[in-house]
């Protein structure tokens, strides 16, 4: 199942990269660029899809979008399994059972 998901993410990443490289030479566009306001939504969507595909495979491009004056931020914490439950939560759940 993971292989299928990996292949789908890889395929959508390749398709979005090809769309952004303008392999159709402007002839193949979902939304024409000369439509006001909405003209660049297809490129923005393809870029967001490409960034998410790269993040799925562990390539972090977020540091390229950060300002130089911002202090280095730590990576967000992942949800780790906690073997020990908070005593207050355990006590409140035991009270709710009664």
Question: Is residue 91 assigned to a domain?
Answer: no
Question: Is residue 43 assigned to a domain?
Answer: yes
What is the average pLDDT score of the chain?
A: 76
Span 2-42, pLDDT tens digits:
899 999 999 999 999 988 888 767 777 777 777 877 878 88
Question: Is residue 5 assigned to a domain?
Answer: yes
Question: Is residue 17 assigned to a domain?
Answer: yes
Question: Is residue 36 assigned to a domain?
Answer: yes
Q: Which residue has the higher pLDDT, 97 or 52?
A: 52
Q: Which residue has the higher pLDDT, 25 or 79?
A: 25
Q: Which residue has the higher pLDDT, 70 or 8?
A: 8
- Whether 20 contacts 47, CB under 8 Å: yes
Question: Is residue 75 assigned to a domain?
Answer: no
Question: Is residue 37 assigned to a domain?
Answer: yes
**Domain limits at 50?**
1-65
- What pLDDT is stored for residue 10 in this prediction? 93
Cα–Cα distance, 59 to 50 (Å, whole number):
11
Considering its fold, how many domains does the chain have in total?
Answer: 1
């Amino acid at each position: 199942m993971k292989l299928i998901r990996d292949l789908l993410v890889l395929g959508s990443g390749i398709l979005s990269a090809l769309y952004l490289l303008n392999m159709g030479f402007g002839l193949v566009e979902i939304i024409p660029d000369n439509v006001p306001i909405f003209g660049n939504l297809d490129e923005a969507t393809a870029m967001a899809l490409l960034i998410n595909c790269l993040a799925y495979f562990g390539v972090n491009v977020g540091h390229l979008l950060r300002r130089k004056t911002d202090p280095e931020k730590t990576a967000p914490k992942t949800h780790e399994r906690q073997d020990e439950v908070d005593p207050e939560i355990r006590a409140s759940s035991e009270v709710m059972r009664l």
